């Protein structure tokens, strides 16, 4: 199994002209504010306080780059879907995210996080539509699976399969920080993408 040996927080950027070097494959994480994105990133890299676990939803409006084993970046995109946000703010958020996602040859996969308890919201559906339209590869991660029973999890999975154009359950990963369910699956998914690339040290 792939081991994360080194995680370095590289930088936070607002403008893509400030993106960090060197160029490495990127795996981005997106989701509504409070979906559990920081917790998931911390769990992936086995740190308790690496990505900031926010107490005030929607505060972070930067794109944060974490370099893993010097072979790829985990990219933490700012949370969306806050109720109290001005049109102006929403526009600038969208622009920041779109500039990151569109025409980014380094981007391998966008993991879109959905809170298992909250379910799908319009903002999630808009993002799926948008990723699909731009032919950007993505997967859905259902977070906080420990907070729901099997029935409601299955219901959400069916709902999601119906709206994802591929109609494929393999595009969905069920995850919990509490039980660590899904962690290996996410890492395996990342490694699978990297395996096609000539990257020294990937499997060592
Ligand atoms: P972010 O705003 O998307 O970065 O979300 P956070 O990682 O800050 O998490 C939001 C809240 O959900 C926090 O109170 C976390 O402790 C809680 N949380 C995150 N992941 C899980 C999980 O897998 N299970 C449970 N029960 N709570 C979680």
Q: Does residue 38 lie within any of the structural domains?
A: yes
Low-confidence ranges of the chain (pLDDT < 70): 52-60, 82-84, 198-204
Q: Does residue 201 lie within any of the structural domains?
A: no
Distance 124 CA to ligand 1 centre (A): 17
The two structure tokens encoding residue 132: 């699909």
Helix 37-44 with 183-195: angle, nearest 10 deg = 70
- In this structure, are residues 131 and 139 in contact, taking their beta carbons and an 8 Å threshold? no
Q: Does residue 120 lie within any of the structural domains?
A: yes
Position in ligand 1 atom list of the atom nearest CA 113: 3
The CATH number of residue 81's host domain is 3.40.50.300
H-assigned helices in the chain: 37-44, 87-101, 122-133, 150-163, 183-195
Q: Give the separation between CA 175 and CA 113, rounded to whole angstroms.
A: 9
pLDDT given for residue 58 in this prediction: 47
Token pair 């997967």 is at which residue?
A: 139
Q: Does residue 177 lie within any of the structural domains?
A: yes
Task: Report the predicted TM-score, pTM, of the whole model to 2 decimal places.
Answer: 0.93
Give the domain range for residue 132.
7-194
Q: Which of 30, 37, 39 to mutate to test the pocket of ligand 1 (most atoms within 8 A of CB)?
A: 39
Distance 51 CA to ligand 1 centre (A): 12
pLDDT given for residue 200 in this prediction: 56
The residue nearest atom 22 of ligand 1, judged by CA position, is 144
pLDDT given for residue 93 in this prediction: 80
pLDDT given for residue 55 in this prediction: 47
pLDDT given for residue 202 in this prediction: 55
Q: Does residue 180 lie within any of the structural domains?
A: yes
pLDDT given for residue 165 in this prediction: 74
- Which residue in 183, 194, 193, 191 sits closest to 44, CA to CA? 183
pLDDT given for residue 197 in this prediction: 75
Q: Does residue 204 lie within any of the structural domains?
A: no
What are 91-103's pLDDT values in tens digits? 888 888 999 999 8
Indicate the SS3 state at residue 196: coil
pLDDT given for residue 125 in this prediction: 94
The residue nearest atom 19 of ligand 1, judged by CA position, is 36
Q: Does residue 121 lie within any of the structural domains?
A: yes
Per residue, the 3-state secondary structure of 117-141, as one string, reads CCCCCHHHHHHHHHHHHCCCCEEEE
Q: Looking at the 3D structure of the chain, how many domains does it have?
A: 1
Distance 143 CA to ligand 1 centre (A): 8
- In this structure, are residues 57 and 16 in contact, taking their beta carbons and an 8 Å threshold? no
Q: Does residue 87 lie within any of the structural domains?
A: yes
Strand 107-115 to strand 63-68: parallel, antiparallel, or no bridges (unpaired)? unpaired
pLDDT given for residue 65 in this prediction: 94
pLDDT given for residue 25 in this prediction: 97
């Amino acid at each position: 199994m792939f081991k994360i040996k080194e995680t370095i927080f590289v930088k936070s950027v607002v403008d893509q002209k400030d993106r960090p070097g060197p160029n490495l494959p990127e795996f981005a994480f997106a989701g509504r504010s409070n979906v559990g994105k920081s917790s998931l990133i911390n769990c992936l890299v086995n740190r308790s306080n690496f990505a900031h676990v926010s107490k005030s939803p929607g505060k972070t409006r930067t794109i944060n780059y974490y370099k893993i084993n010097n072979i790829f970046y985990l990219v933490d995109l700012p949370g969306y879907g806050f109720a109290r946000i001005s049109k102006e703010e929403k526009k600038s958020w969208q622009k920041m995210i779109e500039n990151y996602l569109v025409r980014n040859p380094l981007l391998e996969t966008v993991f879109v996080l959905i809170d298992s308890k909250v379910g799908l919201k319009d903002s999630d559906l808009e993002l799926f539509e948008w990723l699909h339209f731009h032919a950007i590869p993505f997967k859905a991660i259902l977070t906080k699976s420990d907070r729901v029973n099997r029935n409601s999890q299955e219901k959400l999975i069916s709902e999601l399969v119906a709206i994802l154009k591929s109609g494929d359950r393999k595009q969905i990963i069920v995850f919990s920080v509490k039980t660590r369910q899904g962690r290996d699956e996410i890492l395996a998914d990342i490694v699978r993408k990297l395996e096609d690339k000539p990257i020294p040290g990937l499997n060592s």
